[in-house]
Structure 1
């Protein structure tokens, strides 16, 4: 720790990481101290000179008297005083949260700020002047959508009015809230108490910090200034923020010429206290790009005005539904990664091709690692690889059961595990599509192993959807019926000779060809399922009718199975 003077206010400054590396300044919000950045700083300090400071009125820094001492102009001066002290010869990268972000906007939009600030990542704290213009726009040019946005934000900002009440907020913090704050964070945001957060000084920090609201809100919202910047700005929006709505980021490109918007599926404080590693990753991606490296896929997608499509992974993409799905996403601007046991067939599909056996867990983990390293974490994963098998339960051998379940069920499990974990850890959402079959809910005596594998995929998908929805990850199960693909020519049959199997395969192929329902129609339903986050999607007419029957008349359906 060192002390930096800003006027007559003593600021406690904390440094870690290699001092010769680029400097990243972390500015905390209300009612926190520098300790709220512990997780973020731990990751960034591996590469950067990380600087944190307790803002005036908080932690180990001085607490000036009077509301006027907390005006934005003084907070801006504090920021530059610290920046000049810790990095006098090079511009700093800035990451800020909540009120730290509000006061950092004041510095970032100062004329000539780009000479002292290399990049700015803002989390849950807009520029108050920008908010003033945002509110004016919604009431001067109203529409139902804009009025709803304004009303919702005002409801989320109820505490701002409460903090303008004399004396009461300070008493509440000192007598009630400070003691219960750890439990409130745990209940509302799932943040477990930790040794350094909340700080022992919380009651006094929160009482002093009320002046931030009283000194700035009415003036800045009532008389907003034109505050623009040449600094590259990344706005990270915690989707589950109870105080700052995502809508406030709309129109920010008016003020920042180089702007990136990114979502983080977290709450106001859990963004730092649970997902600090992801905030550090997003920050690093912007810093690296500003320093000349190609933009990471997720960062490129977030740039205002960019037309970067999603990154899509499709398994079993060498033919049929997988190939049609990969091409459907590619036609919509997606970057596509495809895999298949037949690598040559995967290459014919297009995109980045890999040979992968989805039933092999180690191979799938290696595949996921390679995709993440070379292309980034995928936004959409389609677990399509599957095989066909016909045979009654008693006729199906253990080896046949193993083969069907290894590909049709374990292949999906592996895909969900390796890519679902990457998506969840990234925190920016995504979508998983599992291709099942109408056989999942239309049992047939002749499809014991196949129907079982697909029914398991359907239930697995419902369980997974419930688990990862909070992280912004959708899960869809696609249930085709009779679709004209080459699965009929590779389907195996229990208890038949090679010659008899060949006749069965040829017969099934002719029947599916006469049916005339192509894989492109299934691919279109997969794209729509992702766009609308649909849970279960029966595709063909018989699949749709079967789903209705399975729900309305399950007894009748079970009786009918005896004759299939």
Structure 2
């Protein structure tokens, strides 16, 4: 034992005859947070998070059975989920007998904590649950069954992607190869895995020999639970408030595994963090601690559904309607804080209100993106009042139709000011902040299929979008060393109100109105909603995809431009507009 409240104190808690090594720090009079580690870690993986939380929490960590200084199960049957869940409740009862504890778990720590959280009556012992990179195996079993019963292309793709991410689970079931691999190679290579794959600085959690022994024994976690539970999933509900932190660069757990989680955990708060599976704890411990602190504070105050004031921050320009509004809502539904701006403040405020209905914090500002000084001031305000954004979506844009000779200089200036300079201003103002912060981020620029689909009646519009496309390519190369991704989104015909505000060269006011109505009706008949574009934007941010053609016509045009540019140019000559 060291220190009074500032040091780490060790005790032993027995659960089903097995000794568990428990480590405490912070004042026991403060709210208790129990941190549960995964595989092949020990309690040490939580060092940074625990040190931060100990300032105002009673922080408890323990080595799970078979790991670190805790007892070793006699066989595979003692690694079953019900015993792992019972261990957590035993530790909670020992360290905080009079008050429910807040549980925070990662990887296999999350898997086993779900067992305790979904146990009937868990709310009496668990005040809240923050989970990272570890689904409930029962929920996962139902998730797989649902996709096999309804094998849509999206469901099949999800099953394939997660199957590829989970290759190691199959390997762990091999009777001789899996333990031999750990003993002969992987234990020694583990620091390199963390450095090269996880982008973290390896640090000593425990001696190499202990890591090897724990890892070999821990394979039984998978063998005792994965196939039996997923084959026969149980109905596991909970009324415990749950905070799901999705790690956007997780190499093992896909974000879509949490689709439909509200069915099992209705008091769900979604958050996300730009981190890999282990960098969340080893590199961004203070950020994770901030998310936990915010959640426990809101739970203690009885504000289970209040919007969080920390976590991922997303800025969307032109967020008052259409793709911008749908994108803001899509990120809000994932627990992000959202800042929207638009020339129409009332519409931006309406978007913010809709975002807040999802339980996320949202704010609205009036900004004309064509005004560089205004965008700089907006970026400074966002940084001062909300922090540096993690994601910026430069969406604001206007439509214009007209041949080159028809389009006046004033019309050219208006289109380029918004569609190109608006993106330039947003990239420069927020990109500078992201680089100075030094923790990465992502910029999304809305281009169009018109960026690579020539049309004699879209001279100014297509030129502005082609410029955005190339700007994004250049910016992607420049910002890559700073871990800032850049995605170019290229929608085709989308049913938004841009058609109702588009302008047309050489037409009278009455002719403009008639043309707007005609084009709007055409786009509405196409029936491709902005929500589908928003989903692709979110996915691009999560996966780092550089260029995303969204609609079928956009994909076809990009492919044709690669295969036969001459045919694409010929089609442009025939386009009557």
TM-score range, shorter chain: 0.5 to 0.7
Find the residue that maps to 2:380 and give its secondary structure. helix
The structural deviation recorded for 1:347 is: 6.5
The corresponding residue for 2:365 is 353
Confirm whether residue 411 of structure 1 aligns to residue 425 of structure 2.
Answer: yes
Find the residue that maps to 2:266 and give its secondary structure. coil
Pair 384,416 (structure 1): closer, same or farther in 2 beyond 3 Å: farther
Pair 414,165 (structure 1): closer, same or farther in 2 beyond 3 Å: closer
Q: 1:235 aligns with which of 238, 244, 253?
A: 244
Confirm whether residue 252 of structure 1 aligns to residue 261 of structure 2.
Answer: yes
Asked if structure 1 preserves the Cα contact closer than 8 Å seen for 2:440 and 2:484, the reply is: no
The structural deviation recorded for 1:243 is: 3.1
The structural deviation recorded for 1:244 is: 3.1
The structural deviation recorded for 1:115 is: 0.6
The corresponding residue for 1:72 is 81
- Map residues 68-107 of structure 1 onto 2, 5 A cutoff: 68-107=77-116
Q: 2:59 aligns with which of 41, 50, 60?
A: 50
Question: Which shifted more, 206-215 or 42-51?
Answer: 42-51
Could you give the per-residue CA deviations for residues 83-134 of structure 1, whole angstroms, max 9, x where no partner exists?
Answer: 1222222111111112111111121122211111111122222223333344
**TM-score of the pair, normalised by structure 1:** 0.67
The corresponding residue for 1:314 is 317
Q: Residues of 1 paired with 2:473 and 2:510: CA distance?
A: 32
**Which segments of 5 or more consecutive residues in structure 2 lack a partner in the other structure?**
1-8, 333-337, 351-363, 399-407, 411-416, 493-498, 538-546, 551-556, 570-577
The corresponding residue for 1:395 is none
**Which segments of 5 or more consecutive residues in structure 1 lack a partner in the other structure?**
303-309, 392-402, 488-507, 538-543, 557-564
Pair 2,361 (structure 1): closer, same or farther in 2 beyond 3 Å: same
Q: Residues of 2 paired with 1:166 and 1:477: CA distance?
A: 49
Pair 535,297 (structure 1): closer, same or farther in 2 beyond 3 Å: farther
Q: 1:460 aligns with which of 468, 471, 481?
A: 471
Asked if structure 1 preserves the Cα contact closer than 8 Å seen for 2:316 and 2:328, the reply is: no
The structural deviation recorded for 1:259 is: 2.7
The corresponding residue for 2:377 is 363
Pair 124,529 (structure 1): closer, same or farther in 2 beyond 3 Å: closer
Asked if structure 2 preserves the Cα contact closer than 8 Å seen for 1:423 and 1:473, the reply is: no
Q: Residues of 2 paired with 1:327 and 1:245: CA distance?
A: 25
Asked if structure 2 preserves the Cα contact closer than 8 Å seen for 1:123 and 1:238, the reply is: yes
- Map residues 125-524 of structure 1 onto 2, 5 A cutoff: 125-139=134-148, 141-145=149-153, 146=155, 149-150=158-159, 152-196=161-205, 201-291=210-300, 292-293=302-303, 295=305, 313-314=316-317, 337-338=340-341, 352-354=364-366, 358-359=372-373, 363-370=377-384, 372=386, 380-382=393-395, 411-417=425-431, 431-433=444-446, 459-465=470-476, 474-476=487-489
Confirm whether residue 41 of structure 1 aligns to residue 50 of structure 2.
Answer: yes
Pair 10,337 (structure 1): closer, same or farther in 2 beyond 3 Å: same
Could you give the per-residue CA deviations for residues 371-427 of structure 1, whole angstroms, max 9, x where no partner exists?
Answer: 6269x9776444669xxx979xxxxxxxxxxx99x9768633433326767999697
Asked if structure 2 preserves the Cα contact closer than 8 Å seen for 1:76 and 1:106, the reply is: yes
Asked if structure 1 preserves the Cα contact closer than 8 Å seen for 2:123 and 2:239, the reply is: yes
Find the residue that maps to 1:58 and give its secondary structure. coil
Q: Residues of 2 paired with 1:247 and 1:478: CA distance?
A: 23
Pair 434,23 (structure 1): closer, same or farther in 2 beyond 3 Å: farther
The structural deviation recorded for 1:53 is: 1.5
Asked if structure 2 preserves the Cα contact closer than 8 Å seen for 1:434 and 1:461, the reply is: no
Pair 115,430 (structure 1): closer, same or farther in 2 beyond 3 Å: farther
Find the residue that maps to 2:47 and give its secondary structure. helix
The structural deviation recorded for 1:73 is: 2.9
The structural deviation recorded for 1:179 is: 0.3
The corresponding residue for 2:14 is 6
Pair 41,526 (structure 1): closer, same or farther in 2 beyond 3 Å: farther
**TM-score of the pair, normalised by structure 2:** 0.65
Question: Which shifted more, 112-121 or 65-74?
Answer: 65-74
| Greater C-alpha Rg | 1
Pair 38,421 (structure 1): closer, same or farther in 2 beyond 3 Å: farther
- Map residues 512-551 of structure 1 onto 2, 5 A cutoff: 532-533=536-537
Confirm whether residue 123 of structure 1 aligns to residue 146 of structure 2.
Answer: no
The structural deviation recorded for 1:260 is: 3.7
